[in-house]
Structure 1
Amino acid sequence: MKRRTIIGMLSVFLLMGGAFAQENKIKKANEEFENYDYIDARKIYLNVVGDGYESAQVFEKLGDTYYFNSEYPEANKWYGKLIDSYPDEIEPEYYFRAAQTLKSVGKYEEAKIMVEKFTAASNNSNLAQTQMNNWESFEQLANSQNKKFKVTNITTELSGSDFGPSFYGNNIVFASSSINTEGNKIHDWNGLPYLDLFEAEIDVDGSLKNVKQLQGDIKSPYHESSAVFTKDGQTVYFTRNNYIDGKKKRGKKRLVSLKIYKATKNDDGTWGNVKELPFNDDSYSVAHPALNLEETRLYFSSDMDGSLGKSDIWYVDILKNGSYGEPTNLGPIINTEERETFPFISDENRLYFSSDGHVGLGGLDIFRTSHNDSEGFYAVTNLEQPINSHQDDFGFIVKEKEKIGYLSSNREGNGGSSSDDIYLLTENCNPVIYGAITDAKTGEPLEGSKVYLMDGNNQVVSQGITEANGNYQFEDDMDCEKQYVVRASNEQKEYEPVEKVVMTPQGSMMLQVDLALTPPDCPVNDLGCRLDLQPIYFDFDKHNIRPDAEVELAKILQAMKEYPQLNIHIESHTDSRGNDAYNMQLSERRAKSTLEWLVEKGIDGDRLSSKGYGESQLINNCSNGVNCSEEAHQLNRRSMFIIQ
């Protein structure tokens, strides 16, 4: 009995010793976590879980070590364990994070459940309401692609983190941990070397070449990233860890915050005179600068006091004396309870930024809004796939007039890696021209018709033959926003050929061009026959346009609008009754009223001409002195339309 008691006591002490050991490990992991050393903290948490110990706190923080490094699929795994194992100990924020990570792995129905739980647990916060009320918008985003754009990874050969491009004249400057530089340390947050700024030339295809590091005092032993340059290329604002004059500073939470610095170019091309901007502070971060077009305002991201969320977009005015105004928050149209970051002002004066608080695909998405000085910012717009993905998408810059842009993303596929890469954004040129070739009189499809696509030099780019349904399609060898001619003919049945000038659309867009061929029994220049018009008739001794004539004239109007190169001559006639001279004047009035009807509907008068022929061109034997019915005389009171 005594032996069993001793063994039992030893077992209890061993269990207590194991528990104490795990608690000590967790304490150490928490210290690393609070110092933002996520990689070291993660290793300890994983070791503890591997030993069979678990808790709500361990699952939370383990998930966070992945979430804060944008490794959403792994974060999803641990948030899932948290929610399944400890449903009564979950802070509302973790439902939101779980929803974001579920989006990133394509589990939309499960993500919706997490949003519903987040809404219930957070007392209907603005963030929760936005996510819930706009769930249908998210589903549309998730299931749609903007085919107008193409996104291509241009840093596949670099193995680390590459992000935050900015335009520097005709070059690009970006931050990279991929390129080894002397003295680079490893950052405990993500286990990668510290970032430096590099400059690259833009090749003809938009890719980067001749990469070199920015030289001078702009480099420090810690992070430099996300720069913006003045138009003259002599001044740069950039993001750096809280480090200047050889000293690193920490805030109240021992975090080395981010700050914006300013540097100017030396005569030798290096960067010097580095100065910290006055609205920085050790207690919060200020990062990712952007200039407006006039270079009178500096935008940035910060979590300073007054922020609506974890980070907001702010701005300061750059005053004429070189000082700065007070920081101003852009407000709730732009900023949410989560992260807004990486602002950029385009050459069309649009604000682009990234956010995970507005409705997006998961992680950070890129958004756009326009600005009016008197009315402020308008509602934001998600840039959709393929610009956005289910991972982090940020650091967007664009030259809208040149139709080229760049962005940063840690998306998988397309040559990407789990680290950040820089992607080239171009407009995807893949237009399609299609249509049907038909008989102009019957509307029947014309099988075996030849269809040609010709360029501006009248050279054949592509050709084809219609099938039984008369359809054709061109989808290769075309440029976007370029003029072409579509020409159709059917020589087997002696149809007159017809062609139409078209402008190809931008992107993967489809343009329908139907062509109707004139049957061989119609004179080439007889518009009425080619359009299968009913005659334009007039009442006896009248020149006004009758309602039944307006129906036929509307067909001519449509043809002239559709074919701007079409010019017509109007010929008007009378019957034989009345004085010959009077009939000539009457026919002139009929021709003029017909022309004026078309001009009033918008046709340029230079495209029209008219002439009256009186009774000189009767189409039957109802000449002077012949007794004819009213119906027979009516056939002569007409207008004809000749293609010029």
Structure 2
Amino acid sequence: MMKSKIICLLFLMISGMSLAQSKKMYIYLGNEYFSKLDYANAVEQYKLALSDSVSRSTMTYPYEIQVTNQKLSKSKVEVDTSLKVTMEEYLHHHIAWCYFRLHDYPNAEKHLKNTVEEKAYPHDSYFLAQSYMNNSKYDEAISQFEDYIRSPQADDELLHAAQVAMTGCYLAKEEIEKTREISVKMADTAVFNRGTANFATMYFDKDQKLMFTSARTGGVILNEKQQSEYLCDLYWVSLNEDSTWSAPTNFGRPLNSAQNDGAGSFNNNNVIFYTRWSEEKKTEQNIYLARMMDMKFFEAYKLDSSVNYPGYKSIQPYVSMDGRTLYFSSNRPGGLGGMDIWKIAIDSAGNTHGQPENLGSLINSDQDEVTPFFHEVSSTLFFSSNGHGSIGGLDIFKSHYDRETEAFSVPSNLGMPINSSRDDAYMMWDSRLSKGFFSSDREPCNGGSCYDIYEVVNEPIHIYLSGYSYNKETEEILPNVKLTFKDVRGVFPPYNIVTDSNGYYERELNYGVELFIKGQKINYFADATSVNTNSITQTTSITRDFYLKPIPQEEIEIEGIEYDFNSDKLRPASQAVLDKLFDFLELNNNIIVEINSHTDARGKDAYNLDLSQRRAKSCVDYLVSKGIDPSRLIPKGYGETQPNQLYGPDKKPVLDAEGNPVLLVESYINTFKVKAEREVLHQKNRRTSFKVINQ
């Protein structure tokens, strides 16, 4: 009897030792997969260890495996290496991390709840909040973010990230309440969404072909051990006459390799840039270039270190419409943290020139900015980010680029339904911003995260123009001003509207037009403005006011007109001044003017009268040569018969003791003893001016 008890005890001990050894083996294998970023296999090993009931209460160091990929841009989280946790907590933590990296947020949430409750891993509180957010549980996420922010153990960088993310949660709650006319649907599953991953649509051969990335059966593989449904390749489709897309065609070798290839962009000159993943080093991703002829490709090659900085990722290339700029995403040194968007100059053959330029702090944050797409017509950069207050995961943002100042505007979130609580990226639009494609993992799938391609039809863009008309001198409302709208490109004829009795007008404009608008009214000089709606990407209200100056009764001097001595020949400086008068007369095309010329009092009266007439005619002849209708111009020489008035520094007439304007007659000029002073006053009489005589 005693012997049988001893045997049973020994059996139990051996069994326990065997189970303990199997647990260690599961954890060892899990750690090996984890260190290689193979989270799918790692999580299976950790789950086996967790299901083993032996030694769950065994204490272990919680940071036995260093978790380094936490999207922290500047430093690693400091940890208490003396702290111990139970083996169960340890496993929950690593299982949660695997699911988080696999974007399987429901399972990540389930396991993070265990570690957060036990408080062994203080920063798991932040990632639990992120999981809530990615699972569209915005109230729970806000509460959890607040708990982390209040925590004395909060890391500075994660603290900032939590504050940004919490703002995104509030934005998401607002977005849910909004109603938009944007239509989003999953693209045709028979064409685009087959296999395990589909993403990164991009126009190829203008808008008649699309290229995209897909992992599906029938892809390029090296041997039978590889499974093409888990390897990304580049495919293309063409637009049919019935507006459907053709069956996808794999670009084949040598563009596609037996590795992961995708996220491509065409330079419209037989060159494709794309990303290639390394199978040996999962953290290594580089941009490749492939040249083609008649859809046949030469061997692709990796771009040099100006783009592919050794040891860092460079991915998701996009080539501008003119083929001169390559945009890409990289976590290379010199950035602001995480993945940043960069650009570099390229030539028509795809060769890079100079060094890449970071797009700066308005676009890039301390987290990730990826998948750039520059919409040429609207001059707008579309990209994805989790660092600008997203509503969950990566969100798609847009930023207008001002070509004059060479600066981007503050990015704005595209909102729902384009963005979701999951990752949304690879946005691209047609030329009119009416239809587009993007990629998202919002739909559940096996493995936790699968990108699908979505089609989007944009909501109608309404552009409203309004304003008032004013008297420029009094700044009072000026009613009944005629506004003439002229299409700069000449696509449609000019049209007119009139401001109402309150000087107000309003008009809805079309997208993609450039207008010159002129305001006119009898007895007033015109005013003008321009409006360009090419860069407008959302419903917008524009204000343009018009200020019309009353036409004076007296003549208006044209300053800067000069002639050769005793000659009617215009000097080059005079022509430049008359060019400005030409623009003025073009704007005020309803007025008839008299071009006047005057001389000083020296010389014979008849000679001065003839000289001034010839000078006035020289001005008229020049303006007619520029295109002004001669019937609108009357040359008139006055010689010395109309001396100028004397004006003070304030440009107001100087008055004599009786309140009359002081005229620059010869007797007055001769009262000045200094010759240089007399010459200045004689010059004031030698003037050219114009006067409105009819409308």
Query: Which of the five TM-score ranges fits, normalised by the shorter chain?
Result: 0.5 to 0.7
| Alignment partner of 1:64 out of 97, 101, 105 | 97
C-alpha distance in 2 between matches for 1:191 and 1:293: 32
How do residues 212-223 of structure 1 correspond to structure 2 at under 5 angstroms?
212-223=249-260
Instruction: State the secondary structure of the residue aligned to 1:208.
Output: coil
How do residues 3-82 of structure 1 correspond to structure 2 at under 5 angstroms?
11=12, 14-52=15-53, 53=56, 54-82=87-115
The amino acid of 1:326's aligned partner reads Q
Name the counterpart of 2:199. Answer: 163
C-alpha distance in 1 between matches for 2:114 and 2:364: 31
The amino acid of 1:262's aligned partner reads L
Q: Does 1:260 align with 2:287?
A: yes
C-alpha distance in 2 between matches for 1:331 and 1:400: 26
CA distance 1:390–1:129, change in 2 (3 Å): closer
Name the counterpart of 2:436. Answer: 405
Whether the 8 Å CA contact 2:231–2:259 is kept in 1: the answer is yes
CA distance 1:182–1:318, change in 2 (3 Å): closer
How do residues 452-531 of structure 1 correspond to structure 2 at under 5 angstroms?
none
The amino acid of 1:172's aligned partner reads L
CA distance 1:204–1:65, change in 2 (3 Å): farther
Name the counterpart of 1:296. Answer: 324
Name the counterpart of 2:450. Answer: 419
Shift of 1:2: 9.4
Q: Does 1:104 align with 2:149?
A: no
Name the counterpart of 1:278. Answer: 304
Instruction: State the secondary structure of the residue aligned to 1:55.
Output: helix
Whether the 8 Å CA contact 1:352–1:396 is kept in 2: the answer is yes
CA distance 1:406–1:177, change in 2 (3 Å): same
Q: Does 1:376 align with 2:395?
A: no
How many corresponding residue pairs?
419
C-alpha distance in 2 between matches for 1:36 and 1:7: 43
C-alpha distance in 2 between matches for 1:320 and 1:398: 23
Whether the 8 Å CA contact 2:265–2:317 is kept in 1: the answer is yes
Instruction: State the secondary structure of the residue aligned to 2:45.
Output: helix
CA distance 1:80–1:309, change in 2 (3 Å): farther
CA distance 1:391–1:290, change in 2 (3 Å): same
Whether the 8 Å CA contact 1:186–1:192 is kept in 2: the answer is no
C-alpha distance in 2 between matches for 1:191 and 1:62: 27
Instruction: State the secondary structure of the residue aligned to 2:327.
Output: strand
| Alignment partner of 2:417 out of 380, 383, 386 | 386
| Alignment partner of 2:361 out of 319, 332, 339 | 332
Shift of 1:344: 0.9
Shift of 1:320: 8.2
Instruction: State the secondary structure of the residue aligned to 1:369.
Output: strand
The amino acid of 2:203's aligned partner reads F
Name the counterpart of 2:386. Answer: 356
Name the counterpart of 2:687. Answer: none
Q: Higher mean Cα deviation, 319-328 or 16-25?
A: 319-328
CA distance 1:402–1:305, change in 2 (3 Å): closer
Whether the 8 Å CA contact 1:312–1:341 is kept in 2: the answer is yes
| Alignment partner of 1:172 out of 199, 210, 217 | 210
Name the counterpart of 1:642. Answer: none
C-alpha distance in 2 between matches for 1:328 and 1:43: 42
CA distance 1:88–1:287, change in 2 (3 Å): same
Shift of 1:112: 0.8
CA distance 1:191–1:339, change in 2 (3 Å): farther
Name the counterpart of 1:183. Answer: 221
Whether the 8 Å CA contact 2:220–2:233 is kept in 1: the answer is no
C-alpha distance in 1 between matches for 2:508 and 2:126: 47
C-alpha distance in 2 between matches for 1:67 and 1:187: 28
Name the counterpart of 2:120. Answer: 88
Shift of 1:362: 1.6
Whether the 8 Å CA contact 1:410–1:419 is kept in 2: the answer is yes
C-alpha distance in 1 between matches for 2:449 and 2:224: 18
Q: Does 1:201 align with 2:238?
A: yes
Q: Does 1:148 align with 2:178?
A: no
The amino acid of 2:290's aligned partner reads A
Tell which has more relative contact order, 1 or 2 (C-alpha 8 A, sep 6+): 1
Shift of 1:410: 1.8
CA distance 1:328–1:505, change in 2 (3 Å): closer
CA distance 1:318–1:113, change in 2 (3 Å): same
Listed one character per residue, the Cα deviations across residues 377-425 of structure 1 (whole Å, up to 9, x for unaligned) are: 22111111111112221111112415110011122289xx963211111
Instruction: State the secondary structure of the residue aligned to 1:70.
Output: coil
C-alpha distance in 1 between matches for 2:8 and 2:228: 45
Shift of 1:193: 1.8
Name the counterpart of 2:337. Answer: 309
Shift of 1:340: 1.8
Gapped runs of 5+ residues in structure 1? Answer: 243-247, 432-501, 507-604, 606-644
TM-score, with structure 1 as normaliser: 0.59
The amino acid of 2:182's aligned partner reads F
C-alpha distance in 2 between matches for 1:358 and 1:182: 38
C-alpha distance in 2 between matches for 1:402 and 1:281: 34
Gapped runs of 5+ residues in structure 2? Answer: 57-86, 463-506, 512-589, 591-695
Q: Higher mean Cα deviation, 323-332 or 296-305?
A: 323-332
The amino acid of 1:32's aligned partner reads Y
CA distance 1:273–1:6, change in 2 (3 Å): closer
The amino acid of 1:173's aligned partner reads M
Whether the 8 Å CA contact 1:185–1:193 is kept in 2: the answer is no
TM-score, with structure 2 as normaliser: 0.55
Q: Does 1:139 align with 2:177?
A: no
Q: Does 1:126 align with 2:127?
A: no
Instruction: State the secondary structure of the residue aligned to 2:174.
Output: helix
Whether the 8 Å CA contact 1:176–1:197 is kept in 2: the answer is yes
The amino acid of 2:119's aligned partner reads P
CA distance 1:142–1:23, change in 2 (3 Å): farther
| Alignment partner of 2:147 out of 108, 117, 125 | 117
The amino acid of 2:173's aligned partner reads E
Shift of 1:357: 2.5
Q: Does 1:395 align with 2:423?
A: no
Listed one character per residue, the Cα deviations across residues 188-214 of structure 1 (whole Å, up to 9, x for unaligned) are: 9x9952011100013467653231111
Whether the 8 Å CA contact 1:187–1:193 is kept in 2: the answer is no
Instruction: State the secondary structure of the residue aligned to 1:43.
Output: helix
C-alpha distance in 2 between matches for 1:289 and 1:356: 19
C-alpha distance in 2 between matches for 1:128 and 1:402: 33
Whether the 8 Å CA contact 2:316–2:372 is kept in 1: the answer is yes
Name the counterpart of 1:239. Answer: 275
C-alpha distance in 1 between matches for 2:99 and 2:223: 21
Whether the 8 Å CA contact 1:150–1:426 is kept in 2: the answer is yes
Instruction: State the secondary structure of the residue aligned to 1:220.
Output: coil
Name the counterpart of 1:457. Answer: none
Q: Higher mean Cα deviation, 159-168 or 111-120?
A: 111-120
Q: Percent identity?
A: 25
Shift of 1:226: 0.5
Listed one character per residue, the Cα deviations across residues 214-241 of structure 1 (whole Å, up to 9, x for unaligned) are: 1441110011111011134x11111112
Listed one character per residue, the Cα deviations across residues 553-598 of structure 1 (whole Å, up to 9, x for unaligned) are: xxxxxxxxxxxxxxxxxxxxxxxxxxxxxxxxxxxxxxxxxxxxxx
CA distance 1:68–1:418, change in 2 (3 Å): closer
Shift of 1:275: 2.0
Whether the 8 Å CA contact 1:291–1:299 is kept in 2: the answer is yes
Instruction: State the secondary structure of the residue aligned to 2:247.
Output: strand
CA distance 1:270–1:391, change in 2 (3 Å): same
C-alpha distance in 2 between matches for 1:294 and 1:73: 44
